[in-house]
């Protein structure tokens, strides 16, 4: 099986498990090559897949794209992709993304990563209709309140039509490619509402 993209090793392993075949999975990136011998015995593939939906009409606005800030990208990368907050070693205050200076007790550079829950509630939401150069609009953002912790995160809403998610709605956090910046894919978590997409009319005009 040959696939392309950062997620391709996962698809290759899933394809092996699906076919019930053990074997080598190799991945190359620039000058590095990694290989793993995958034994599929006792493994299974579970799919969480939305039923097919009518395509959403979005308009792509021409432009040069959202520029990447490598400093910001690097600062948030681990926390975003691992879905972990910075937890202050002194007072336990959580920050997402992690901060050098604790907003709870003022301690500097004294924190460690702690896992965040993969479920939450929409605290507030907004659908963006204005054309943003190189982006497709409309799209919906939400501030999501993570379960059981004092953390709210701004993220894209996925799997439902733009404008259809409501305040107080519950959902899961799913890993998505949220943007391309200067040609670099930007991965992060997006909010997937528990309410199924079918029957949702979409508030976008």
Smallest separation (angstroms) from Zn ion to the CB of 166: 34
Q: Which is nearer to Zn ion, 82 or 90 (CB)?
A: 90
Smallest separation (angstroms) from Zn ion to the CB of 106: 7
Q: Using a CB cutoff of 8 Å and minimum separation of 24, what contacts does 51-60 make?
A: 51/196, 51/197, 51/198, 53/161, 53/197, 53/198, 56/161, 56/162, 56/202, 56/204, 58/136, 58/137, 58/138, 58/139, 58/162, 59/131, 59/136, 59/137, 60/134, 60/135, 60/136
Q: Which is nearer to Zn ion, 38 or 107 (CB)?
A: 107
Q: Which is nearer to Zn ion, 19 or 103 (CB)?
A: 103
Q: Which is nearer to Zn ion, 98 or 138 (CB)?
A: 98
* Three-class SS state of 96: coil
What separation in angstroms does the CA of 28 have from each of 36, 117, 161, 198?
12, 32, 36, 39
Q: What are the residues binding Zn ion (CB under 5 A)?
A: 88, 90-91, 93, 102, 104-105, 107
Smallest separation (angstroms) from Zn ion to the CB of 102: 3
CA–CA dist 59, 131 (Å, integer): 8
Smallest separation (angstroms) from Zn ion to the CB of 150: 13
Smallest separation (angstroms) from Zn ion to the CB of 101: 9
What tokens does 192 get? 């997937």
Q: Which is nearer to Zn ion, 72 or 91 (CB)?
A: 91
């Amino acid at each position: 099986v040959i696939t392309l993209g950062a997620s391709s090793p996962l698809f290759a392993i899933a394809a092996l498990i699906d076919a019930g075949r053990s074997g080598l999975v190799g991945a190359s990136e620039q000058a590095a090559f990694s290989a793993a011998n995958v034994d599929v015995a006792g493994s299974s593939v579970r799919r969480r897949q939305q039923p097919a939906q009518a395509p959403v009409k979005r308009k792509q606005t021409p432009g040069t794209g959202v520029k990447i800030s490598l400093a910001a990208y690097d600062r948030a990368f681990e926390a975003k992709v691992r879905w972990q907050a910075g937890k202050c070693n002194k007072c336990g205050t959580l920050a997402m993304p992690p901060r050098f200076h604790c907003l709870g007790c003022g301690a500097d550079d004294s924190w460690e990563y702690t896992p965040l829950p993969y479920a939450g509630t929409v605290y507030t939401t907004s659908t963006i209709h204005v054309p943003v150069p190189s982006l497709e609009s409309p799209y919906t953002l939400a501030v999501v309140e993570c379960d059981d912790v004092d953390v709210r995160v701004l993220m894209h809403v996925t799997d439902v039509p733009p404008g259809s998610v409501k305040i107080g709605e519950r959902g899961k956090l799913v890993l998505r490619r949220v943007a391309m910046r200067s040609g670099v894919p930007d991965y992060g978590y997006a909010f997937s509402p528990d309410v199924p997409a079918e029957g949702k009319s979409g508030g976008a005009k």
